[in-house]
Structure 1
Amino acid sequence: MSTPAFSSDETLDSIGTAGVRVWQRRGGYRFTLDAVLLAAFAATEAGQVEGPLLELGAGSGVVSFLLACQFGLGPVDALELQPEVHARLTRAVALNGCDGRVRPVLGDLREARTSWASGAYAHVVSNPPFRPAHAGVRSPDDERAVSKQELTCDAAAVVAAARHSLPPGGRVSLIYPAARVAEVLGLLSAARLHPMALRFVHARAGAPATRFLVHAVRDRQRGLAVRPPLLAHGEGPGGYSPEVAGLMEPPRAERPAPLWEGHDGE
């Protein structure tokens, strides 16, 4: 299959063992390792849960494509707010052979109650903007700013959209900075999205946690399991830990550059 043309302002980037490819703007928001970790965590924790998935704030579609291509889940509705980002996501569907498995949706998660039916999805995933709207310096690039800071949605809006989207027993998987763990777990519990699994992400052994992954279930308390720490870097291929290298290595010679820069350049 030939590769469709793209503009000089775009790059075509590969990620994961299934060779997922996405278009990204050179000066826009670029996906990071967080997307890979979220997809793997969601697929692992979901277990035997079956049914359609929803990604809130899909961006270039990395998480949705990984869920479909690398982990065999789906169908996935990939919801994205920004029209230009959504257009690049749409162009990547055929490129990844995901017609019928990943459906790009242009929309606003804050309008979930009026945009799709309650309980329409078995599993919701999101790698949302990490930084509060007034924290730090806003990027002069609107695409990067909206993707990194809570300018168009905050954690409460993400949790509310997830709650609306799930039936009783439905699941949600999120990734956030470790410093926000108390806030996000509180929002989930208040919405009766009860945390089931929690895993902290560390750049290296002995380093403080930089991220956490959480998997929750709607309306059913099943107890919280704290998983072993996830180490991003180590002595595996590409300088990653063996666990992360096993998620990252594409099926050909070229390999993506290390992505552990995080949303905030960490």
Structure 2
Amino acid sequence: MLEAPGPDETLDSIGTAGVRVLQRRSGYRFTLDAVLLAGFAASEGAGEGPVLELGAGSGVVAFLLARQLGRGPIDALELQPAVHARLVRGVALNGLEGRVRPLLGDLREARTLLSPGAYTLVVSNPPFRRSGGGVRSPDEERALSKEELACDAAAVVAAARHALAPGGGVSLVYPAARLTEVLGLLTAARLFPRALRLVHARVGSPATRFLVHSLRDSDRGLKVHPPLIVHGAGPGGYAPEVAALMDPPRSERHTPPG
């Protein structure tokens, strides 16, 4: 019998394929950014080959890619031992043994942890906030997940560059205010931006996030997609495109694995 959530944990469902995620009630909890990144990476990345997630957390992106979006196998690298332990349990809860492999380690040590050029796709929903850029959470897990205390954007880009096969792609999500910085880091590492999409909460509102997909050593020009609008008249108050990633129609709901 699969392990139930602990007293300080929740078991949450996400996506159209019955993905379940273990999270701490009082710790860092996944956001819509993870769902948007998974959908974007699946649409922009090559359709076959091994995938790497840098900073996998509880496994939302990896599980969505493997179970809902048909990608894999996936190596999911996570730094924090307690978070990695929930990731391991989540693999079993979702029946993804053999498709998602949890790895415990620091992405800043990618050259010793990961084989060079082993992946066709790398994805990351990394810490967004620069170190010292705001009030630090007293919860260490939340602080490491939200603030660049254990890695920064340059480290994420360097790890992706090491892990990607020639012509492979990396998909990232970051705050819109860091667009110039991140595109510059990618280009300097010869990870040439291929697709860019700005994320807006509502029509007419400023962009809050951007999604970018870059190719290793392949400068094929940049496609700027139409804006991605999050909220609208679709199910759950989401715009139809986002709602389609979040929840299946009632007639098509999957029974979670037990």
Q: Same fold (TM over 0.5)?
A: yes
Q: One-letter code of the match for 1:151? A: L
Q: One-letter code of the match for 2:15? A: G
Q: Is the 8 A contact 1:177 1:211 kept in 2?
A: yes
Q: Matched residues, percent identical?
A: 75
Partner Cα separation in structure 2 for residue 118 and residue 105 of structure 1: 16
Alignment TM-score, normalising by the size of structure 2 = 0.95
Q: Is the 8 A contact 2:57 2:87 kept in 1?
A: yes
Partner Cα separation in structure 2 for residue 3 and residue 230 of structure 1: 37
Q: Is the 8 A contact 1:19 1:251 kept in 2?
A: no
The 4+ residue runs of structure 1 with deviation greater than 2 A are 250-253
Deviations 1:10-46 (A, max 9, x none): 0000000011001000010000000000000000011
Tell me the residue number matched to 2:28. Answer: 29
Tell me the residue number matched to 1:67. Answer: 65
Could you say what secondary structure the match of 2:150 adopts?
coil
Deviations 1:61-93 (A, max 9, x none): 000000000000000000000000000010011
Instruction: Give the number of equivalent residue pairs.
Output: 252
C-alpha displacement of 1:6: 2.1
Partner Cα separation in structure 1 for residue 215 and residue 4 of structure 2: 42
Tell me the residue number matched to 2:222. Answer: 224
Partner Cα separation in structure 1 for residue 198 and residue 37 of structure 2: 12
Tell me the residue number matched to 1:128. Answer: 126
Q: One-letter code of the match for 1:53? A: V
Tell me the residue number matched to 1:8. Answer: 7
Q: Is the 8 A contact 2:46 2:120 kept in 1?
A: no
Tell me the residue number matched to 1:262. Answer: none
C-alpha displacement of 1:114: 1.1
Could you say what secondary structure the match of 2:215 adopts?
strand
Q: How does 1:135-214 map to 2 (within 5 A)?
A: 135-214=133-212
Partner Cα separation in structure 2 for residue 212 and residue 184 of structure 1: 10
Tell me the residue number matched to 2:77. Answer: 79
Could you say what secondary structure the match of 1:118 adopts?
coil
Deviations 1:105-142 (A, max 9, x none): 00000000111211011110000000001101000000
Q: How does 1:88-127 map to 2 (within 5 A)?
A: 88-127=86-125
C-alpha displacement of 1:47: 4.3
Partner Cα separation in structure 2 for residue 6 and residue 242 of structure 1: 32
Distance 1:251 1:5, change over 3 A: farther
Partner Cα separation in structure 2 for residue 80 and residue 204 of structure 1: 32
Tell me the residue number matched to 2:50. Answer: 52
Distance 1:167 1:47, change over 3 A: closer
Q: Which runs of 5+ in 2 are unaligned?
A: 254-258
